[in-house]
Chain A
Amino acid sequence: MTSPMPQQPQNTSQPSHTTEPTDVPQQAHAPHDPQAPAATPAPYEETRIERAVGRLFGRATGRALAPYQTAVIRIGFSATWLLFLLREWPHRLTLYGPDSPWSLDMARRLLDANHAFSMLLWSDGRGWFECVYLMAVASSAALLLGWRTRTMSVLFMLGVISLQNRSVFIGDGGDNVIHLMSMYLVLTRCGQVWSLDARRAKRARTAAEASAAEVSAAGGEASEQAQTAVRTPGAGRGRDLTGIVLWAVLGLALAVAQLTGSYALLWFDNGPFPHIGWSLVLWGLWVAHGLWWAVQRYAPGEPRTVLDTLTKLAHNGALLVIMVEVCLVYSTAGWYKIQGSRWQDGTAVYYPMHLDYFSPWPALSQLLGSNGLMVMLITYGTVIVQVAFPFTLFNRRLKNVLLVIMICEHLSIAFLLGLPFFSLAMIAADAVFLPTNFLTWLSTRVSGLRERLFPRTLAAGPDGGPGGGEPPARTEHGGGGHTLVG
Chain B
Amino acid sequence: MRPRRYGSPAELTAWIYGNGAGMQSYGDEPRPLAALSLPSRIVIGVAACAVAVIVAIHLAMMFLHVAPQNTLSKQQGALISDYVYPEYEQNWKLFAPNPLQQNVAVQVRAEVRAEDGNGRTTGWTDLTARDGRAILHNPLPSHTEQNQLRRGWELFLNSHNAQGRPIGTRGELAERYIRRIVMFRMQGEWTAGGGRVERIQVRSRTAAVSPPPWSTEKISDKPVYRVQPWWQVTTADLPEGANSQ
Contact = CB atoms under 8 A, between A and B. Distances in A.
A176 B139 CA distance: 21
A115 interface: yes
Contacts of A46: none
Interface in B64-88: 66-68, 82-83, 85-88
Contacts, number: 323
Contacts of A88: 142-144
Chain B interface mostly: loop
Contacts of A347: 211-212, 215
Interface stretch (A31-39, A73-81, A133-141, A450-458): A31-39
B192 interface: no
B222 interface: no
A179 B20 contact: no
Q: How large is the interface on B (under 10, 10 to 19, 20 to 34, 35 or more residues)?
A: 35 or more
B186 to A, nearest CB: 12
Interface string B127-158: 01101100111111111101110111001000
Interface in B215-240: 215, 239-240
B49 to A, nearest CB: 10
A305 B34 contact: no
A352 B100 contact: yes
A448 to B, nearest CB: 19
Nearest to A339: B97
B99 A170 contact: no
A201 B27 contact: yes
Interface string A464-483: 00000111100110001110
A103 B54 contact: no
Contacts of B103: 355-356
A180 B95 contact: no
Contacts of A215: none
A481 B21 contact: yes
A393 interface: no
B146 A24 contact: no
| Among B16, B30, B94, B144, residue most surrounded by chain A Cβ atoms (within 10 Å) | B94
A63 B147 CA distance: 42
A106 B16 contact: no
Contacts of B214: 372
Contact of B85 (A14, A114, A314, A330): A114
Contact of B147 (A28, A172, A304, A352): A172
B105 interface: yes
B3 A309 contact: no
Given A28-B33, A169-B152, A87 B142 contact: yes
B245 interface: no
Nearest to B142: A91
B87 A117 contact: yes
Contacts of A170: 143-144, 147-148, 151
A378 to B, nearest CB: 12
A208 B203 CA distance: 72
B155 A169 contact: yes
A335 B98 CA distance: 12
Contacts of A20: 3, 5-6, 12
Contact of B139 (A116, A420, A472): A420
B14 A480 contact: yes
B64 to A, nearest CB: 11
Contacts of B137: 360-361
Nearest to A352: B99
Interface in A74-104: 87-88, 91, 94-95, 98-99, 101-103
A24 B34 CA distance: 10
A242 interface: no
B87 to A, nearest CB: 5
User: Can you list the 8 inter-chain pairs with the closest CB atoms, starting with the nearest?
Assistant: A481-B21, A340-B97, A28-B34, A116-B86, A336-B96, A372-B214, A101-B180, A201-B25
Given A33-B34, A205-B20, 6 more contacts: A101-B180, A173-B94, A343-B96, A343-B98, A347-B211, A480-B14
Interface of B: 1-6, 9, 12-38, 40, 43-44, 47-48, 51-52, 54-55, 58-59, 62-63, 66-68, 82-83, 85-101, 103, 105, 128-129, 131-132, 135-144, 146-148, 150-152, 155, 169-170, 173, 176-177, 180-181, 184, 209-215, 239-240
12 contacts: A1-B1, A94-B144, A110-B170, A113-B169, A230-B20, A306-B43, A313-B44, A320-B59, A332-B93, A348-B95, A469-B23, A482-B20
